[in-house]
Amino acid sequence: PGATFLDRMIAMVEGADRRKTPNELALAVLLAGLTLIFLIAVVTLVGLGAYSGVDLDPIVLGALFITLIPTTIGGLLSAVGIAGMDRLLKVNVLATSGRAVEAAGDVDTLLLDKTGTITFGNRMATEVIPVPGVRPEAALAAAVMASLADETPEGRSIVELGRNAGVSVDQPTGATAIPFTAVTRQSGLDVGKDSWRKGAVDAVLKDLNLSDGSAPAEFRQAVDRIARSGGTPLAVTQNGVLVGVIHLKDVVKPGVKARFADLRRMGLRTVMITGDNPVTAAAIASEAGVDDYLAEATPEDKMRLIKAEQAKGRLVAMCGDGANDAPALAQADVGVAMQTGAQAAREAGNMVDLDSDPTKVIEIVEVGKQLLITRGALTTFSVANDVAKYFAIIPAMFVVALPSLGALNVMHLHSPESAILSAVIFNALVIVALIPLALKGVKYRAIGAGALL
């Protein structure tokens, strides 16, 4: 108990900690700072009133402080977040909160799972290459036996390859299925004393106590050829003896290379994560046009990579579709799960792409940046508005004792009460007037700093 793959994934998801974004922290500091500044400003008016001979009613001072609290941006933040979620929905992306959309605007590193995200994920077996001394039909039969209990598209394609070649695909009586796990990285079938396995080449060789150098030269050459073509090689064993290698061919989704180039121009670094060997990973990475890749990755490796990037001060987005991606999706600042993926992945992320298109991150980042720009504009206005209210109310409070302040009383307010009432009415009107801007958003256009300067 507690040692299965599912238990490990649950523990890692529960241990994930999605941190607050720099903009979120900055806004919290700004609002708290402004509130403290205005509190100090109001308290100092007590001494100024005593010095000037003006009797300030505590109720008036309390009303002044409440009026000066930056309520405009607070009242519009919800509208800005909801508008961002609505704009994402128009491109078939579901966001769980406005905070997730906001974080997308600051993302600078994008991690993508290969299978099902960059590629279609329906890898098909095209051939089984035997090792020297093993007949081709025997190697194919061993591959079929190792795949009879495998319900994945890859496993079914191996069985179909054998069926087309005339190999029996009936599961023997009393067979025991050996499921694939992220630890063994193998699956297969046991029938009595006989066993068949298929899995990642390095995992199988390690299980056989073979090094790369001690494996047959023809086997190594076949693995290298498959990997360099962008395919995935799977080693096959029968009763603990290496018999061949399966060639699984995967297809990169069309248009991803151009879209990744767009992400690069926006300043995002793309990293492909895969369980494939480094040669296959390099071939797929080159074809897809990503900036970097992590090969032979386990769920723990993905978590370590994300935490390492976050430790450098970067905001990380993760695109994935499998249950083994759930911990990384939960840890990433923006976790985009593919709709066609596992339920665990969709629940761990804070966004779901209904089109299962990893390059949809471009639209997600654009909406996120538009949200940040809109909020920045509204925050600037809110601060200026609060400062203006302060200098509009002060003259009305001291104009009797200090007639020279009448020059600043441009609104011709006759008393503190009328000044505060005017500020409250203005607040109520300006929030309503700014809601359309908050919902529509400030126009965003991707352009480099060099062009702006």
Query: Alpha helix locations (H) across 2-21?
Result: 5-15
* Whole-angstrom distance, CA of residue 111 vs CA of residue 22: 20
Give the pLDDT band of residue 398 (cuts 50, 70, 90). Answer: low
Task: Look at residue 447 in the predicted model and tell me its pLDDT.
Answer: 59
- Return the structure tokens found at 376: 């920045």
Lowest mean pLDDT among 23-27, 87-91, 169-173, 274-278: 23-27
Question: What DSSP string describes 188-247?
Answer: EEEETTEEEEEEEHHHHHHHTT--TTTS-HHHHHHHHHHHHTT-EEEEEEETTEEEEEEE
Lowest mean pLDDT segment, chosen from 30-39, 202-211, 303-312, 393-402: 393-402
Q: Maximum distance among all alpha carbons in the chain?
A: 108
236 backbone dihedrals φ, ψ, rounded to 5°: -125, 135
Identify which of 206, 279, 281, 214 has the alpha carbon closest to the alpha carbon of residue 237: 206
Is 321 noted as a catalytic residue in this protein? no
| Size (the chain), residues | 453
pLDDT averaged over the chain?
Answer: 82
Asked if residues 131 and 334 have their Cβ atoms less than 8 Å apart, the reply is: no
Comparison of pLDDT for 262 and 237, the residue scoring more: 237
Domains and CATH numbers, the chain: 5-102+364-451 (no CATH), 107-119+253-362 (3.40.50.1000), 121-251 (3.40.1110.10)
Task: Note the pLDDT of residue 1.
Answer: 45
Q: What is the mean pLDDT of residues 83-96?
A: 88
pLDDT tier at 420, thresholds 50, 70, 90? confident
* Portion of the chain with pLDDT greater than 90, in percent: 21
What percent of the chain is helix, strand and coil (3-state, nearest 5)? 55, 15, 30
One-letter amino acid of 422: S
Helix H, strand E, coil C: the string for 127-154 is: EEEECCCCCHHHHHHHHHHHHCCCCCHH
The 10 Å Cβ neighbour count of residue 281 is 24
| Catalytic-role residue among 106, 113, 150, 357 | 113
Report the pLDDT value the prediction gives residue 341, as an integer from 0 to 100.
80
Contact 145, 195 (CB under 8 A): no
Alpha carbon distances (Å) from 386 to 255, 280, 398, 421: 49, 59, 19, 14
Report the pLDDT value the prediction gives residue 10, as an integer from 0 to 100. Answer: 66
pLDDT score at 76:
77
Residue 198 has pLDDT above 90, yes or no: yes
The average pLDDT across 157-169 equals 91
pLDDT of residue 27: 76
423-431 own/partner pairs: CB under 8 Å, 24+ apart: 423/67, 423/389, 423/392, 423/393, 424/67, 426/389, 427/67, 427/71, 427/72, 430/72, 430/385, 431/71, 431/72, 431/75, 431/76
Give the pair of three-digit tokens for residue 152.
């994945």
Q: What is the mean pLDDT of residues 185-190?
A: 93
Q: Give the pLDDT confidence of 113-154 residue by residue, as tens digits.
A: 887 778 876 778 989 999 999 999 999 999 999 999 998 888
Mean pLDDT for the stretch of residues 27-49: 81
Give pLDDT tens digits for 218-239.
Answer: 999 999 998 888 788 999 999 9
d(CA 385, CA 426): 10
pTM score, two decimals? 0.63
Query: Encoding tokens for residue 203?
Result: 């995992």
Give the confidence band of 194 by pLDDT, cuts at 50, 70, 90. Answer: very high
- pLDDT at res. 400: 59
User: 273-310 pLDDT, tens per residue?
Assistant: 888 878 888 888 888 889 999 988 888 888 899 999 98
pLDDT of residue 61: 79
Check residue 391 and give its pLDDT.
Answer: 72
